Amino acid sequence: MVSRLYLRAKYSFDTSAFIDSWRRWYPPLNFVSLWNYIADQIENEKIIASIIVRKELERQHDDLLDYVNKFSTLFKNPTQEEQDIINQIINDQNYEHWGRGELYEADPFVIALASVHNLTVVTYEHPNKNGKIPAACRDYNVDCCDFPEYIRRENLLF
């Protein structure tokens, strides 16, 4: 059953979608219109993220953290339904490593948020590697794409 808690939401952003886009591929000084678009999508709650993504972003206090902290509605606490899926994922032998430390802490939360609310996960993780977000999305019937595909799906032109 799909939850109707976040009616406008379309995307569940993984930590890597923020970090790799901001710091590596689409720096905000060079892609001002892209980051203005993302800000608009966040403000309109089309892009949401797990509160655990914020925790991962807080590991480095920089301008990306300042950027995301401007949005009071971006980060969501997990619902009970999401918690149930998180528990299912971390007890799955293919993803049990996610329950053992901070390295992949947000991954099951990102997928559960998308699963419960019928969202697309946006990540930079490699789609053909086992034990990564795209593999878990396939296993749990969650749509997943990388950031360039997000740009294509949104029909963005720069």
Residue 42 is assigned to a structural domain of this protein = yes
Number of domains comprising the chain: 1
Taking CA atoms, 33 is separated from 10, 37, 39, 40, 74, in Å, by 20, 6, 10, 10, 19
Task: Identify whether 2 is part of a domain.
Answer: no
pLDDT of residue 130: 81
In a domain, 124, yes or no: yes
Q: Is the pLDDT of residue 42 over 60?
A: yes
Print the domain residue range for 47.
11-153
In a domain, 104, yes or no: yes
In a domain? residue 61: yes
Any idea what the CATH number is for the domain that residue 95 is in? Answer: 3.40.50.1010
Model pLDDT for residues 99-156, shown as the tens digit of each residue: 776 556 899 999 999 999 999 999 999 887 788 999 999 999 999 999 999 999 999 9
Would residue 38 count as lying in a domain? yes
Per-residue pLDDT tens digits for 53-89: 999 999 999 999 999 999 999 999 999 999 999 999 9
Average pLDDT taken over every residue of the chain: 93
For the entire predicted model, the pTM comes to 0.93
